[in-house]
Amino acid sequence: MAHGLNDPKIRVHQALHGYADGHRLLACSTTLKPRDQKSMLIMSDVSGPNAIIGDAGYLTGYPLPESGVYALACTWAATEMARPGCVWTHTLLLDFADLAVLPSMAFLVNVFRRPSVGFSARSFEAILEIEGPLPYARPMEIDQNSLKRIVWGLYEHPRDRIIASNDETALDSTFLLWAQQWPRLRRTFRFCTLAFGDRSSEGNPFDLQFIPARERSVRARFSGTTDAERLRPAPEAWMDTALADLLEGAEGKLRTFLREVGGDLAGGREAFVPLCRLHQLMPQFTDRDNAIEEAVELLDGSFGAAAANSLRTIFVNAIAKQPAVIGERALKFVLSHLDLLTTDGLQQSAATLGRALWTYDPNALVKLLHDLPPRQSVAEQGLVNLSIDDVIEGVRRSPQSIPAVLGRRPELTEERDLWSIVGPWSEDGLNVVANRPERTEVALAAMLNARRNDLAPRAVQVLGSARVLRAICNWASGPRTESHAETLSAWLAASVQSGEGLAEVLSGDCVPDRMILLLIARMTYPDLVPNTFGEDPWWTSVNHAKGDLDGVQRQYLSAYLLARALGYRSRNQAELIECSFDDVYIPASQSRLSAEAWNIIEPRLPKPWFFDWDYCQRMRDALVEAFVNRDLAPNSFMRVTRNDDVFEQLTRAIARTGRGRRFLKKALQSLMNQNEWSKRAEIIQDAI
């Protein structure tokens, strides 16, 4: 099972081979393909005739490609067995994906277990969970001269099977070499730290085998191999780079580069030397004029067509990443070599090419959109892969490029910094937003944050008032400053002109703040919102909105709701009267009702007789007319005010007519049906 480096554990399957009426598999935590089972059976046996195995055993590494795992095995002499030459072999089966991400495999030595007398084979049938990568059990011991000869043999003679003398540093050297390799080479690398015969088979040569140093006769069993001890490495620069990286460890720059480019390489060890040389050339791009040309020549001369496409992509990326060469000359050079890239290679390099060209001249990249392939592909892929910050910086310098950029990067409409750029492109931006309904609210929030008040009317036309108003309300639920208040007012004014759109938003519980309701009320008139069926949208919003208003603000909102209730459009007239009457009537009775609140409610009140300026009397008359003549719910009348004195005044006003008294009897009966008796019941009884 594959795990990333951030996962503290890796899961590893295991197998145990040993003697039981012949050398065979004793336990395994997984099922392998038949061919891989056969390979593991062969590799788990002793590494050659007359093998003398020390207490620590030896390691063998080889791939099992059909099962997608790499086998790392430790073999010990089974001296407790009566039959000579028996061995125990504990094999760890590493998923190729796990093997690719491990910075080193040396810690796995700690995981191996040699069976002891009376052991249970079932203990080897469990999947291992290994804390990784753990530190190696002991400091690595390296013979640098020996290591240098092995490196030279492996990579200057990439087709050869390399042998070297086994000593106390063989194991450490192997793990160093293995960790440096890129993932594809790492998972095909075959090695044995103590071989008494060539373990290669047809089609499966071993890359590196260590043989007993003192057993010279053993060398005769390795015909056709290259002996590292007899090699004399030349003073090549790539060798210095490779050796330095080996000793540097997991943070080595060379191995980082190898991992970056090696995933697409079809070859094996033969790619190592040219890759090292290419790695050496890249830092020289800014220092030597011909370094780029040398790298291109190296790519063409060392790799096949498919591999060259991938490496040329990395090469172009390297140019784009060099600050000193991101200029006109370097960009022209890169564009002139686009014909060397296949479609796949172009796609891999387009992001960096685009970033480099965009940084130099955004308009130049946009012009490539109208060019022929592959230049057109560079522009398209470049725009898609640019970071948001890079795109914004570029279009700020070239606003005329925004419409073309939005065609490839519509998500830019969600960025405040984009909308901060004023220009005729905004119409294109709104059309892009309209085509992405699932992200409209985010884009509108970006416009609001950019304080683009000038866009509000057109945004309502293009996107619809309900959609805009819903986004405004959600945006306004966050912290607001004085400048935000100005923006809020401007956008609300543009979006509340449609009664249907406003009804949709108010009915959907989308107005969380009473302050927003107040602002909407100030910008509309009470009968604007339709209520043909269902609950009144205003009543829905008032019930769900939170937040406090000061006295004057509460008066206005309540006067607005009361005026709506006294009209004929609401289907929740009684409920609106209940929630608003006291907030208007009580201040009026104390001569503190604001002029703007009175102005909104006064047209809905009965006309005064001559010079009767008694606000309260007119409100009482309006309330009587609403409850009695419209046959509103008597229960609501009982809750219309919290003040008993006001309730008594209203009751007496209703009791003046026969119809009013019948209404009061219904109200009294409703109390009796609910087994409630209160002072208000006595007030009603006295009135009728």
272-304 core/surface letters (b: 16 or more CB in 10 A; e: else):
bbbbbbbbbbbeebeeeeebbeebbebbeebbe
pLDDT (tens digit per residue) in 649-683: 999 999 999 999 999 999 888 878 776 667 888 89
Mean pLDDT along residues 330-340: 65
Provide the pairing of β-strand 162-166 with 191-192: unpaired
DSSP 638: H
The runs of H, that is alpha helices, within 386-434 are: 388-397, 402-408, 416-419, 426-434
Assign 3-state DSSP to the chain and report helix, strand, coil percentages, each to 5. 55, 10, 35
Locus of tokens 């393909």:
33
pLDDT at site 346: 63
> Among residues 40, 22, 20, which one has the least CA distance to residue 30?
40
What is the secondary structure of 261-294 as a DSSP string?
HHTT----GGGHHHHHHHHHHGGGTTT-TTHHHH
Residue 608 structure tokens: 């005064």
Residues ≥6 apart with Cβ < 8 Å to 98: 1, 2, 3, 10, 12
Q: Rounded distance, CA 215 to CA 211, Å?
A: 8
Indicate the pLDDT class of residue 624, thresholds 50, 70 and 90.
very high
Q: What is the pTM of this model?
A: 0.54
Indicate the pLDDT class of residue 82, thresholds 50, 70 and 90.
confident
User: For the chain, first and last CA: distance in Å?
Assistant: 85
CA separation, residue 240 to residues 181, 186, 292 (Å): 16, 21, 22
Residue 241 structure tokens: 């780079």
Q: Domain ranges in the chain?
A: 9-131, 144-246, 285-386
Indicate the pLDDT class of residue 298, thresholds 50, 70 and 90.
confident
Mean pLDDT of the chain: 88
**Is residue 371 pLDDT above 50, yes or no?**
yes
Q: 106, 140 in Cβ contact below 8 A? A: yes
Residue 483 has φ and ψ, to the nearest 5°, of -65, -35
Q: Rounded distance, CA 413 to CA 356, Å?
A: 23
**Is residue 619 pLDDT above 50, yes or no?**
yes
Residues ≥6 apart with Cβ < 8 Å to 181: 189, 255, 258, 262
**Is residue 428 pLDDT above 70, yes or no?**
yes
Counting Cα atoms < 13 Å in the Cβ hemisphere of 506 gives 28
**Is residue 304 pLDDT above 90, yes or no?**
no
> Among residues 263, 258, 203, 259, which one has the least CA distance to residue 65?
203
Q: 181, 258 in Cβ contact below 8 A? A: yes
pLDDT at site 341: 57
